[in-house]
């Protein structure tokens, strides 16, 4: 496949039309090159991170058999293209997801804790939990309502997003288990709605909140994959603990 050479100052043509020696890296240039590949966030907070999940641009590399590397941008047709960058449209999409999911959980948490918007309040929700076979239903009602309210508020703000998403996933995992016998579709009383909310929370757990968030620049923002897995473990452990410790066999 032919690959255009679009590097600044490049001689043009194709890599196999000229000597590799003309493009060999000069000694002492590696540190400057490494610094130039840092993301804006890395430069702002004075750290170097070649595994930054929010890097500003990542070049596609061509490596020959002798280990030499040339950075070029290309598509499947050999045409030049703009390198991938974390864009404003991505931030907008994540903001919409956060506001929608966080708003839903804010409302449901307020219904359970305060009885507003037609909600059952803590007493009514505790009674519903008792009917579902849960022990210590009064305490569990407060914990569940508080988790929903807190997770919703944090998602709207974009603060501690992995932990907030873990709260969403944990609560929805329990709700799905309770509705397994009813099947998937919501029309038959299934867990379709709960699964949808849980999957949205799971996605935000690994993508992070985007740059329009109070998390911007924090360590879990720069390491979304690592903290996503940590949050997933927390969510799974919390959901399992509720089912094993608070529910009758």
CB neighbour list of residue 216: distance below 8 Å, 6 or more residues apart: 41, 158, 209
**pLDDT higher for 18 or 170?**
170
DSSP letter for 36, please.
H
34 pLDDT tier (thresholds 50, 70, 90) = very low
Digit-coded pLDDT (tens) for 143-167: 999 999 999 999 999 999 999 999 9
Q: Provide the percentage of residues in the chain whose pLDDT is more than 90.
A: 62
Digit-coded pLDDT (tens) for 228-245: 999 999 999 999 999 999
Q: What is the mean pLDDT of residues 9-23?
A: 42
The pLDDT assigned to 66 comes to 44
Neighbours of 105 (CB within 10 A): 27
CB 141 within 8 A of CB 125: yes
User: Is residue 59's pLDDT more than 70?
Assistant: no
pTM for this entry: 0.68
Q: What is the mean pLDDT of residues 70-78?
A: 49
Q: Helix, strand or coil for residue 159?
A: coil
CB neighbour list of residue 193: distance below 8 Å, 6 or more residues apart: 186
Q: How far is CA 19 from CA 15, 22, 24, 47, in A?
A: 8, 6, 9, 36
Q: What is the mean pLDDT of residues 5-25?
A: 43
User: Is residue 180's pLDDT more than 70?
Assistant: yes
Mean pLDDT estimate for the chain: 78
CA distance 172 to 76: 41
Structure-token pair, residue 145? 């309502």
Q: What is the mean pLDDT of residues 49-76?
A: 45
DSSP letter for 182, please.
G
Quickly list H helices, the chain.
Answer: 30-36, 40-44, 88-114, 121-131, 137-157, 161-178, 192-207, 219-222, 224-246
Structure-token pair, residue 118? 């037609």
**What backbone torsions phi and psi does residue 166 show, to the nearest 5 degrees?**
-65, -40
Digit-coded pLDDT (tens) for 97-155: 999 999 999 999 999 999 999 999 999 999 999 999 999 999 999 999 999 999 999 99
User: Is residue 196's pLDDT more than 80?
Assistant: yes
DSSP letter for 72, please.
E
């Amino acid at each position: 496949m032919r690959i255009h050479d679009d590097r600044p100052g490049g001689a043009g043509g194709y890599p196999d039309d000229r000597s590799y020696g003309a493009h060999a890296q000069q000694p002492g240039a590696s540190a400057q090159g490494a610094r130039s590949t840092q993301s804006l966030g890395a430069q702002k907070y004075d750290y170097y991170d070649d595994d930054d999940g929010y890097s500003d641009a990542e070049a596609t590399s061509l490596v020959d058999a002798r280990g030499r590397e040339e950075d070029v941008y290309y598509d499947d047709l050999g045409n030049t293209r703009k390198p991938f960058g974390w864009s404003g449209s991505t931030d907008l999409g994540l903001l919409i997801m956060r506001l929608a999911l966080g708003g839903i959980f804010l409302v449901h948490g307020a219904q359970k804790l305060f009885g507003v918007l037609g909600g059952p309040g803590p007493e009514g929700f505790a009674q519903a939990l008792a009917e579902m076979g849960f022990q210590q239903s009064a305490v569990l009602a407060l914990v569940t309502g508080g988790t929903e309210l807190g997770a919703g508020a944090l998602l709207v703000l974009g603060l501690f997003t992995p932990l907030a998403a873990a709260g969403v996933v944990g609560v929805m995992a329990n709700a799905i288990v309770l509705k397994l016998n009813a099947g998937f579709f919501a029309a038959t009383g299934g867990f379709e709605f709960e699964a949808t909310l849980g999957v949205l929370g799971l996605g935000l757990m690994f993508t992070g909140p985007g740059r329009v968030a109070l998390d911007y620049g924090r360590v879990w923002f720069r390491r979304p994959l690592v903290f996503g897995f940590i949050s997933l473990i927390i969510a799974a452990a919390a959901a399992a603990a509720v089912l094993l410790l608070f529910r009758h066999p």
